[in-house]
Structure 1
């Protein structure tokens, strides 16, 4: 088989890139090692920056998002027994969209099917080859047969544990990483959100987050030690714990119910440099990970796709390489700003016993300053809604 761009990974970044390329008349094939149902069964974040919303509209997959998604003009911080609202719309002129990543992925898959895009699921042993030469190709196995796809470029949209970054570990890549000493215990439940906007809570018992997927489905988290096991946490124990970490009026209003999904996610900050190796490009989680505080993971993948598509479009339309040559630098510039923001929100809202009493007092002072400074709130709001591409 021959195509122009072979995309490895059919998560949101791979699907958005594939649709942008198809809309521009650039042939592409998407490969994934698992099937569609497995991908749609993964529970992921759902706060979209304006740039990600515009990309979904651009590919033609934003209709249901605008019908069912929730526009949030702000979010709340809870600390020291009080609540403070960050007024996103008022401070920046824009908002965020709350729409579950599972639903977003479903919309993208359906749109690709409707427009004739080619996706190959259950592709085993996907391997990129000769991406540092003029003739790259990708091999995979399906139904016991080995297949080969010759291409011009390979887009590695296959996540943190994917084959693409593993294939360049001996090519001069440098990894930067910070691992945090706790995880997020999260549950998904079919109960109405406790508040119409997100609440990030800093409490002596640890961080908590009240989030949502719709008007009838809520996503809640609490900070837990990395030694905790999800099976140690009953639903009742979770509900009791999160209510302890919230203001009394919020805790009293919280509706509880059986969990649909429950898991513990470790937190890390990670960046790989560079993001380009010849004709292979790392996109999204293949090249970087952020803590979920501030919801930048999917949004960073969207901006990566934007920069890569611009470069590929210029290459095929004008036979120029400036855009693909600049992809890594352009993407990393925005990535590191988002890494800084996610790190800063994580440090601000979680409890770090190892930092001692001095560290705790500095954190309290930072929250107090934030609540009294319009400039500080504007900076947080600008980063939360997303820096421009």
Structure 2
């Protein structure tokens, strides 16, 4: 038996006891997280069987483009994450159109909706997240469209073809991307956000204020600090008694991690499936990754919804399963295209941070955020080169503090 001991920077230890490798790895969820996990396992030299199980029939595809290029009409359909030949070459078995309904942890077996079973040596949950529902008490909530997967995009894109106006509930990343795309297609657009500023969880006030001004300049009606009281056939009724006329309503109020399988199997879940710094759950044979995972990162447990976070998690899981050193933790990056606006973000958004903003050109800004003299975040608007140059400061500073 091979016994691998991995020490993390916080002094904790991960003990693995396997044979050369577990008999097989089964990954439930064939979106970016699942594909990344399978890919990084092979990159790390993992030689045993890898099975990637996905509910959707088609090849795994890039979801971030759904609210960006695809909805704007610049991309006719979301691109596959990898060509079909990639999975054949890497000996990754795809089981698409397959729904997992339960986990028997003792027998290390998955139950399938079609009636079959699938055994695993190690299980990786990459089940993602679902669009957060509007409160059930909200009148007409079922009338609102959502955007989370390819079928949602197809329905929304087709609906926009013969509509003149759109109301978006939620001024976060996806809501604003959809609003910008719809406005470019000529629709009248209104965005309703309960918070006092746009993208409150991901943008500092200075950048958020500029984004607000640009969207309003493009003709998007943005209402902040306002709640929705109801969804009607004519649009929205707001908490202040006013109404928004709209042919179509989109709900974009965040996401909920898909933890049904984990919860039913008795795994601890909070805002996602709880894991340690290498993605391992309370069951040493089960890991979680991506939007469904409540991950321990940089000493804090949180749920990261970004491609960059998923890539890091995939490398960490692969390292744990192959006995290699864990990857160095760095701040995750996030990006958003909203019409002509190009946003790039990395690091933490904290209310008490000191911010310094630099105007590079007329519509180009770079913001640095500090806490206790340490650089904790970089945010750029229409400044991709400056962002890449500055991100090194953030990542090297974090590495220095972690190794001090």
TM-score (norm 1): 0.43
Q: RCO (CA 8 Å, sep 6+): is it higher in 1 or 2?
A: 1
User: Greater helix percent: which structure?
Assistant: 1
Q: Which of the two has greater strand per residue?
A: 2
